[in-house]
Amino acid sequence: MITILPAGESAVLVEYDELPSVLGNFRALDASRIPGVIDLIPAARTILIEYDNTITGHQLVEKWVRGAVPIELTADESGPAVEIPVRYDGADLAEVGKLTGLGVDGVIDAHTSATWAVAFIGFAPGFAYLTSSETRLEVPRRSDPRRQVPTGAVGLAGPFSGVYPRSSPGGWQLIGTTELSVWDAERRPPALLLPGTTVTFVRA
């Protein structure tokens, strides 16, 4: 089930029940763009669709969205692969070990053995929300977010893992750090991790 809401005069916000539906529909819509569609921006439960209202209109966009058949990503179709070296020295690593029941070594093993994929970008430029089939690492955000999280911090929150592209406030559980730059304004594209990219973490 989806809900389509107007977002100004030239955009709609499509709401889905869960992240897999977002990803499957995003792939389908991206592969079948109708004339006038400018951009598709996926998030955890939504896709924002921007369009040129001199070329297409709300009704045509809605018909296109409702007619989309989700596309599941297969192993053969996975995107580019990135390996991220991590020092597992995060301030919350021991707490995550307790919350998951895995202990410190178990958290590290689970994080490095899982294959992660970029679901969407959000929160800050270059901040990629990574998902995997590893459900044992699902932990809540911190009840007391930090005012400053260092660049390169590797964290967990809910079903996601991520790397902070720059120093910023944040409430994720920090399990490590990486020297790999995931955001560089001088690089093209600036973001290292784009939707569809496959990510593996290795112990540095």
Tens of pLDDT, residue by residue, the chain (204 residues): 899 999 999 999 999 998 888 888 998 999 999 999 999 988 888 999 999 999 999 999 999 999 999 987 654 455 689 999 999 999 999 999 999 999 999 999 999 999 998 988 888 889 999 999 899 999 999 999 999 999 999 999 999 999 999 999 999 999 999 999 999 988 888 999 988 789 999 999
Tell me the CATH architecture of domain 3-66.
Answer: 2-Layer Sandwich (3.30)
The gap from C-alpha 203 to its chain's centroid, in whole angstroms, comes to: 22
3-state secondary structure the chain: CCEEEECCCCEEEEECCCHHHHHHHHHHHHHCCCCCEEEEEECCCEEEEEECCCCCCHHHHHHHHHCCCCCCCCHHHCCCEEEEEEECCCCCHHHHHHHHCCHHHHHHHHHHHCCEEEEEECCCCCCEEEECCCHHHCECCCCCCEEEECCCEEEEEECEEEECCCCEEECCEEEEECCCCCECCCCCCCECCCCCCEEEEEEC
* Residues forming CATH 3.30.1360.40 domain(s) in the chain: 3-66
Q: Is 24 exposed, middle or buried (0-12, 13-18, 19+ CB in 10 A)?
A: middle
Going by C-alpha positions, the residue among 92, 183, 104, 87 that lies closest to residue 146 is 92
Rounded CA gap, 131 and 198, in Å? Answer: 10
Residue 126: partners with Cβ closer than 8 Å, 6 or more residues away: 165, 166, 182, 183, 190, 191, 192, 193
pLDDT for 73: 63
pLDDT for 19: 82
pLDDT for 76: 47
pLDDT for 75: 47
User: Does the reported pTM lie above 0.85?
Assistant: no
- Does 79-203 carry CATH code 3.40.50.1100? no
* Residues forming CATH 2.40.100.10 domain(s) in the chain: 79-203
Report CA-CA distances (Å) from 15 to 3, 32, 124.
Answer: 5, 19, 21
- Ramachandran bin of 174, using left for φ above 0, alpha for ψ from -120 to 50, beta for the remaining angles: beta
